[in-house]
Amino acid sequence: MQSFFQEAVIPHFNFWIYVIIMMVGLWSVIAKNNLIKKLIGLSIFQTAILLLYVSLGVKEGATIPVLDHHALIESSHSESSEGSGKKAIAINPDHYANPLPHVLMLTAIVVGVATLGVALALTQMIYKDFGTIEEDEVLKKIKALHDDV
Amino acid sequence: MKAKIFASIAVAITGAVLLYAVSDFPRFGDPRSPANAGVEGGSPSASLYYIENTYRDTKVPNLVTAILADYRGYDTMFETVVILTAGMSIFAILRVLRRDDAPGAPASAPDSSDHSIDGDHHRIIVATTCRIAAPLIQIFALYVVAHGHHSPGGGFQGGVMLGASFILLALSGSLRDTLVRFSEQQYLRLAFIGILIYAGFGFLPLWVGRNFLDYGALSGLLMTSGEEMARSHSMLGVEIGVAMTVMSIMFAIFANLSTRGRLHGGL
């Protein structure tokens, strides 16, 4: 049991956490009857995916992907004074976290909020039309409407 | 009850399959993982190119902003369009343009202006505090937008903060008073102007025969010393456009959701 933890869980604990959070979200989407609770589940699901992507970009001992501005300016000045022109400044990629997942998730978060707003608007309209946001009651009322016609 | 058992089984199976694959993933924080360094024997990861060359190409130290607004500018432009579309969908779904409610509907509270600070003395402290805090939040949001090149920040973050300041005003005081300062006409206009700014920065390089969103071509127009600085300044321009759209849509979502599309009364 301890060796299992040492080999499988601890080196990959970010994946374990993302799977657990994702399953919490999936369970509430399937099992919950209330539409708002389903939306909360969808948001939890989305958060798990954001966590997965950001954790993929983590590097041990690295800092945030914002370069040290002043050091770069000084090094470029000293280089140009030596006459080496537009020589590339040496930047060690191991010192900076992977910026790509951050970019992808940054837009995903804002778009997620906007689409959640659309979902809440639809829920409001469902409540206005049916007087309930419980899924089975909404389905019953839709069925009754069809039987009347 | 039956649904919950079924859901538990489905979730357990899905989780087990996902966890089974976990051992194939690289360990946490590995700088040599495929995502961080590329596949062994194959091409290196794109992130290495970004880290090593972004400052040379664009003179922007914040790699996230540079990738967001420059290298992946096309993606970000249409992400902003997605946000605008979401705002328009909420407008189409919820917005009630009639002044009076439907005659058959039970008369709701005639006017919630009683909930403004004049009618409710319990809200004076909260409303006054929030009214003082809102301009400070907005100044910090403008700093986040404008300084997004050099520190964590950018158009999306600053735009959300600007929108949140208006939502705070509407929550603490009343939505009606906030709409006097930031009316529906104004925020819808701002949302579209934001997209137009972004697309305009995309179309300008086409005039001089360069590619869409190739900001380096704007060095003559922006009077910069080189193509790198033109890219840096154009990034600020598109971030401002993004911030305008995001701010407007965030406030529009709140205003429509909290009043069921009537834009008066509400919370």
The domain of A74 spans 66-96
Q: Which of B62, B119, B108 is nearest to B239 (CA)?
A: B62
| Chain A contact present for B192, CB below 8 A | no
* A102 & A53 share domain: yes
Could you read off the pLDDT of A124-145 as tens digits, one per residue?
999 999 999 999 999 999 999 9
* A34 & A86 share domain: no
Residues 6+ apart with CB under 8 A from A33: A134, A135, A136, B3
Inter-chain contact B28–A58, Cβ cutoff 8 Å? Answer: yes
Inter-chain contact B52–A55, Cβ cutoff 8 Å? Answer: no
> What SS3 class is residue B44?
strand
The domain limits of chain B are: 61-96+117-259
A-chain CB neighbours of B36 within 8 Å are 56-57, 59, 93, 98
Inter-chain contact B64–A99, Cβ cutoff 8 Å? Answer: yes
**Domains of chain A: total:** 2
* A92 & A102 share domain: no
Residue B173 is predicted with a pLDDT of 82
Question: Please, what is the average pLDDT of chain A?
Answer: 85
* A9 & A51 share domain: yes
Report residue A141 as tokens: 């009322």
* A70 & A142 share domain: no
Which is it for the CA torsion A5, A54, B44, A87, positive or negative? negative
* A112 & A142 share domain: yes
A-chain CB neighbours of B256 within 8 Å are 121
Q: Which of residues 40-79 of A touch B (CB under 8 A)?
A: 55-60, 62, 64-69, 72
- Give the C-alpha separation, B208 to B61, whole Å: 28
pLDDT tens per residue across all 267 residues of chain B: 788 898 999 999 999 999 998 888 888 888 888 888 888 888 888 888 898 888 888 888 999 999 999 999 999 999 999 999 999 999 999 998 876 554 444 444 444 444 554 556 667 888 889 999 999 999 999 999 999 888 888 889 999 999 999 999 998 888 888 898 899 999 999 999 999 999 999 999 998 888 898 888 888 888 888 888 899 999 999 999 999 999 999 999 999 999 888 887 766
Residues 6+ apart with CB under 8 A from B113: B119, B174, B176
* A143 & A107 share domain: yes
Could you read off the pLDDT of A76-105 as tens digits, one per residue?
665 554 444 444 567 888 889 999 999 999
Could you read off the pLDDT of B101-138 as tens digits, one per residue?
544 444 444 444 445 545 566 678 888 899 999 999 99
